[in-house]
Amino acid sequence: METIVEDAETEYELDKVKKKYGNLGPGVVMVQVEKGHQGLGISLAGHKDRNRMAVFVCGINPKGSAYKTGGIQVGDEILEVNGLVLHGRCHLNASALIKGLPGSLFKVIVLRKTEGLENLAVKPITQFPVSLDDETPEQRYANFKGLRTVAIKKTGQGLGIMIIEGKHAEVGQGIFISDIQEGSAAEQAGLIVGDMILAVNKDTLLGSNYDAAAALLKKTEGVVSLVVCNPNKAKTEEKTADGAPARTPTPQPPKEPEKPRLTGKPVVHAISPSTSGKLAEEPPADPATAPVNPGRESTIEINKDKMGLGLSIVGGSDTLLGVIIIHEVYPDGAAAKDGRLKPGDQILEVNSEDFRSITHSKALAALRQTPAKVKMVVLRDEGVVSGKEEELMDMMEVELTKKPGKGLGLSIVGRKNGPGIFISDVVQGGTAGTDGRLMKGDQILAVNGQDLKNSTQEEAAAVLKTAAGKVTMKLGRLKARKIPTK
């Protein structure tokens, strides 16, 4: 084991380090670094295998204290800093954690292996600004086109964006914006669907997976600085600048598939309270009290009473389902208080707007614009008697082949109210996306025979990550009953 020691006390500490990290091999090194006013002067990155959490040194600024002290090398994996264990943790939070440590003398424990450089998620950083604080996004992300920095003031409603982990032909794997809430801070700040998020408050997202990026965004407060790029937008601007012929119709169509979006668009989405819209004409029966009768269209009216509807929906004419179905009824919303709507109910009309052949995004827009009283025409499957999930869903089994070092290309989320693991994202170009049979809103019931009906999101994620080779998934999808278009 290589050591860098100065006195007997450090020797004693090193003995403890050997016992703690001895199973990692002979490359454990302990270094003492005095933090300067600009920090340690090191840049951090994750492991190239996104299933492995690690904090690697990917750059050492020649003007920083780590470079002057010596002992830390590019490719070193940071295990611990002043007793703060970073081994097995995400690199995105490491920078902020280190900066928040008190004192000026840091004892850094690193693991040095010959393959360290090969395990970096990014190429080693060799170009540094004159001052550590002067590094601009333009310098750090010079290879990305359409680069811009956007400042967003985070409110109680969040940033107003949905993200996915995807792959783009121009920039490769990354975290992209897949949806933006209408009227949100993100929309007002100028973010657009298809933007790739490179950094959040100076923490890079390059090499990050969906879970790590979502966790970092969730922890942000106040004014949030996002560095984003949009290669497709930049490409269009370049063509315009170069005098591309305006008469050719080909530049326009590529705008649709440019975004790393999902095949189909069944997005599980909460319905927010809204303030505008008009009431439809009164039906013969009193919709305020009329029950939802299985097997035939039922008209009901819900009084929101300054609350959100409290629904999430899946499906749409642009998805595998083809129709709009209620996925979940949240216990704190107006629909739950009303008590008549249930998961699996198909929405046919909302305030006289036909939902029978509507796209997912248009359905969301219509539901967001509902007034205080919402009139809905719904259909409940007549085969549903007890309300058990087995009656609500079509069951299917899908076998996917997981490539070495790769995931299945999907993200999961737990039900807000009660047990259940659902697909929240299917990455275009990934294993699941290429297969084409999975969609957002599908419930994962079992993986390789292991029952996930009552599992937590963390437990299910661990099962999916550790599955290798051929992965057999048992899925449940809410039933869609085809209704003739009016």
Predicted confidence at residue 71, as pLDDT, reads 87
Asked whether residue 263 is assigned to any structural domain, the reply reads: no
For the purposes of burial, counting CB atoms within 10 Å of the CB of 27, is it exposed (0-12), middle (13-18) or buried (19 or more)?
A: middle
CATH number at residue 440: 2.30.42.10
Predicted confidence at residue 300, as pLDDT, reads 93
Q: Do the beta carbons of residue 134 and residue 152 sit within 8 Å?
A: no
Whether residue 26 is found in the same domain as residue 111: yes
Asked whether residue 399 is assigned to any structural domain, the reply reads: yes
For the purposes of burial, counting CB atoms within 10 Å of the CB of 251, is it exposed (0-12), middle (13-18) or buried (19 or more)?
A: middle
Predicted confidence at residue 236, as pLDDT, reads 60
Predicted confidence at residue 426, as pLDDT, reads 82
Whether residue 365 is found in the same domain as residue 397: no
Whether residue 94 is found in the same domain as residue 14: yes
Asked whether residue 124 is assigned to any structural domain, the reply reads: no
Q: Do the beta carbons of residue 415 and residue 326 sit within 8 Å?
A: no
Whether residue 375 is found in the same domain as residue 396: no
Examine the fold and report which residue of 216, 234, 252 is the final residue of a domain before the chain moves on.
234
Please list, in sequence order, all residues whose beta carbon lies within 8 angstroms of the beta carbon of residue 146, skipping any fewer than 6 positions away: 229, 230, 231, 232, 233, 234, 237
Whether residue 224 is found in the same domain as residue 141: yes
Predicted confidence at residue 277, as pLDDT, reads 36
Predicted confidence at residue 270, as pLDDT, reads 41
Examine the fold and report which residue of 348, 367, 384 is the final residue of a domain before the chain moves on.
384
Q: What is the signed CA dihedral for 100, 103, 107, 113, rounded to 10 degrees?
A: 30
Asked whether residue 260 is assigned to any structural domain, the reply reads: no
Q: Model pTM greater than 0.85?
A: no
* Separation CA 426–CA 412 (nearest Å): 9
Asked whether residue 251 is assigned to any structural domain, the reply reads: no
Predicted confidence at residue 153, as pLDDT, reads 86
Please list, in sequence order, all residues whose beta carbon lies within 8 angstroms of the beta carbon of residue 116, skipping any fewer than 6 positions away: 56, 73, 75, 76, 77
- Per-residue pLDDT of the chain in tens (486 residues, 90 and over written 9): 333 333 444 555 677 787 788 888 888 888 888 876 567 888 888 888 877 888 999 998 888 888 888 889 999 999 999 888 888 887 776 777 777 677 778 889 999 998 889 989 888 887 765 444 456 777 777 777 888 899 998 877 788 888 888 777 777 778 888 888 888 888 888 899 888 998 888 777 877 778 888 888 888 888 899 999 887 765 565 555 555 444 433 334 333 434 443 333 333 434 333 333 333 333 456 888 888 888 888 999 999 877 888 888 888 887 777 888 888 888 888 888 999 998 888 999 999 889 988 888 888 888 878 888 999 999 887 665 555 566 677 888 989 988 877 778 888 888 776 778 888 878 877 888 888 888 888 889 999 999 988 888 888 888 888 888 899 999 888 776 645 444
Whether residue 14 is found in the same domain as residue 114: yes
Asked whether residue 268 is assigned to any structural domain, the reply reads: no
220-222-223 Cα angle (round to 5): 95
* Separation CA 431–CA 223 (nearest Å): 37
Tokens of residue 391, six digits: 């009656």
Predicted confidence at residue 37, as pLDDT, reads 58
Whether residue 313 is found in the same domain as residue 338: yes
Whether residue 168 is found in the same domain as residue 109: no
Predicted confidence at residue 481, as pLDDT, reads 61
* Separation CA 35–CA 237 (nearest Å): 44
Q: What are phi and psi of 75, to 5 degrees?
A: 105, -15
Domain containing 327: what range?
296-384
Instruction: Report the number of distinct structural domains present in the chain.
Output: 4
Whether residue 12 is found in the same domain as residue 55: yes
Asked whether residue 132 is assigned to any structural domain, the reply reads: no
Examine the fold and report which residue of 364, 384, 404 is the final residue of a domain before the chain moves on.
384
DSSP code for 459? H
> How many Cα atoms occupy the beta-carbon half-sphere of 233 within 13 Å?
14
Whether residue 220 is found in the same domain as residue 152: yes
Whether residue 379 is found in the same domain as residue 302: yes
Predicted confidence at residue 437, as pLDDT, reads 87
Predicted confidence at residue 110, as pLDDT, reads 92
Asked whether residue 240 is assigned to any structural domain, the reply reads: no
Whether residue 70 is found in the same domain as residue 145: no
* Separation CA 283–CA 51 (nearest Å): 55
Predicted confidence at residue 157, as pLDDT, reads 72
